[in-house]
Amino acid sequence: MPDGGDPARVRVVEHLAEVPPAEWDACAGADNPFLSHAFLEALEASGSATAKTGWLPQHVLVEDADGRLIGAVPLYLKSHSYGEYVFDHGWADAFERAGGSYYPKLLVAVPFTPVPGPRLLVRAGASADVEETLIAALLEIAKAHGVSSVHVTFPPRAQWERLGAAGFLQRTGQQFHWENRGYASFDDFLAALNSRKRKQIRRERRDAMAEGLEIDTLSGGALEPRHWDAFHRFYRSTTDRKWGGAYLTREFFDLLHARLADRVVLMLARQGKRYVAGALNLLGRDTLYGRNWGATVDIPFLHFELCYYRALDFAIERGLKRVEAGAQGAHKIQRGYLPTPTYSAHWIRDRSFRTAVEKFLAREREAVAAEMQELGEELSPFRREAE
């Protein structure tokens, strides 16, 4: 039992606004802004992650005998698989062809955000048993709802292993992260690359700025509503072109500004007084997280400049340990972002379907590991001695 043997109380809330922000954040920690009460509740309050959009909050809370929050899980009852970045559409199709109902399902995640981080949130100093209580609660909620499955996306490896020990199937994926090896400047970083890649990156940066662009890097009090108006326009141009619909509402960005402006790093490309492209980042304790990008112009290499190179400039200048530039994109390797494993865990009710998925995941894990090794060896831009 958590906290010296006193019984823990487990309950579920459908609105994060019901939870005091300081209590939630005491469990989430301060390292990762996406797990903060401010960010997650902004998704709900803005209408981005709600029952209407297929994300019904079912947040799990564990309280000690004094009513103090000692554990939590950001949990959603999903009626689809969009906005998750760990793809199970094939599983859903196969299960429903066999006569089952894949939806609704339960998802432990930060909506629309493929950023790794804790998913079993435990207050510092609380008993290690709190994680076990949270996992047990997930399974009980799954049974109560009669769902087909529970999915935990982008947890750290230690929690992934703990979920595996509790009967969750284990899945791996990959992202591409940049690690700061003590670089004093961007040129210092370039010096660690082979000659061909150095020249390529310098050419890309020069070409991206060839049309007289200027880049404004904005945070905190420097952010104004007009900047968010411009960025939302860029965000919509990307989502309309790629997916046909935007996950995040305009109000979400207003709430992000009001609540987390000091954690926002918004990079906007400007031609004269007119903004033409932008990249949104959030700042963690030692990591810069790249999230969304968009543009209303087609300028070669501008995406690389705003999303990758400017992020490295920022991280080096502030001594950050890493830059995580979001999901997918093997092209990032040549810009210094190397393959990094990601994890997800999946509990499936139906035994025969679980067995089929388990066999698939065993093969997939081997394929992902082989691909990561091959990409790292063949495409890494670093000089061998630098690695």
Q: What does the alpha-carbon distance between residue 312 and residue 320 come to, in Å, rounded to a whole number?
A: 9
Place of tokens 């906005």: 83
Q: What does the alpha-carbon distance between residue 349 and residue 105 come to, in Å, rounded to a whole number?
A: 11
Q: Which tens digits make up the pLDDT trace of 52-71? A: 999 999 999 999 999 999 99
Three-class HEC string of 181-209: CCCCCHHHHHHCECHHHHHHHHHHHHHHC
Judgement on whether residues 221 and 304 belong to the same structural domain of the protein? yes
Q: Which tens digits make up the pLDDT trace of 72-117? A: 999 999 999 999 999 999 999 999 999 999 999 999 999 999 999 9
Does 345 reside within a domain? yes
Q: Which tens digits make up the pLDDT trace of 234-259? A: 999 887 776 657 899 999 999 999 99
Does 235 reside within a domain? yes
Percentage, residues of the chain above pLDDT 90:
91
Judgement on whether residues 218 and 105 belong to the same structural domain of the protein? no
Q: Per-residue pLDDT averaged across 316-328, rounded?
A: 94
**What is the structure's pLDDT at 242?**
64
Judgement on whether residues 69 and 30 belong to the same structural domain of the protein? yes
**Contact by Cβ (8 Å): 139, 298:** no
**What is the structure's pLDDT at 7?**
64
Does 299 reside within a domain? yes
Judgement on whether residues 168 and 198 belong to the same structural domain of the protein? no
Does 325 reside within a domain? no
Q: Per-residue pLDDT averaged across 281-296, rounded?
A: 96
Judgement on whether residues 118 and 203 belong to the same structural domain of the protein? no
**What is the structure's pLDDT at 238?**
82
Spatial strand order in the sheet of 169-179: 55-57, 75-78, 105-108, 149-153, 338-348, 169-179, 322-327, 287-295, 274-283, 264-271, 214-218
**What is the structure's pLDDT at 384?**
78
Q: What does the alpha-carbon distance between residue 40 and residue 229 come to, in Å, rounded to a whole number?
A: 21
Judgement on whether residues 255 and 365 belong to the same structural domain of the protein? no
The larger pLDDT score, comparing residue 326 to residue 119, is at 119
Q: Per-residue pLDDT averaged across 135-164, rounded?
A: 98
Judgement on whether residues 365 and 275 belong to the same structural domain of the protein? no
**For the chain, what is the mean pLDDT?**
95
Q: Per-residue pLDDT averaged across 220-242, rounded?
A: 91
**Contact by Cβ (8 Å): 39, 114:** no
Say yes or no to pLDDT of 386 above 70: no
Q: Which tens digits make up the pLDDT trace of 161-219? A: 999 999 999 999 999 999 999 999 999 999 999 999 999 999 999 999 988 999 999 99
Residue 288's φ and ψ, nearest 5 degrees, are -100, 125
Judgement on whether residues 147 and 167 belong to the same structural domain of the protein? yes
Does 384 reside within a domain? no
Judgement on whether residues 35 and 101 belong to the same structural domain of the protein? yes
**What is the structure's pLDDT at 385?**
66
**What is the structure's pLDDT at 69?**
98
User: Which residue range forms the structural domain that includes residue 346?
Assistant: 9-174+340-376
How would you classify residue 250: left for phi > 0, otherwise alpha for psi between -120 and 50, otherwise beta?
A: alpha
Paired residues of 214 in beta bridges: 270
Q: Where are the alpha helices (DSSP H) in the chain?
A: 21-28, 37-45, 89-97, 129-145, 157-165, 186-191, 195-208, 225-242, 250-260, 302-304, 310-318, 351-379
Does 369 reside within a domain? yes
Pairing of strands 75-78, 55-57: antiparallel
Judgement on whether residues 296 and 359 belong to the same structural domain of the protein? no
Q: How many domains does the chain have?
A: 2
Q: Per-residue pLDDT averaged across 332-344, rounded?
A: 96
Does 330 reside within a domain? no
Judgement on whether residues 122 and 158 belong to the same structural domain of the protein? yes
CATH code at position 62: 3.40.630.30
**What is the structure's pLDDT at 166?**
98
Does 335 reside within a domain? no
Judgement on whether residues 24 and 170 belong to the same structural domain of the protein? yes
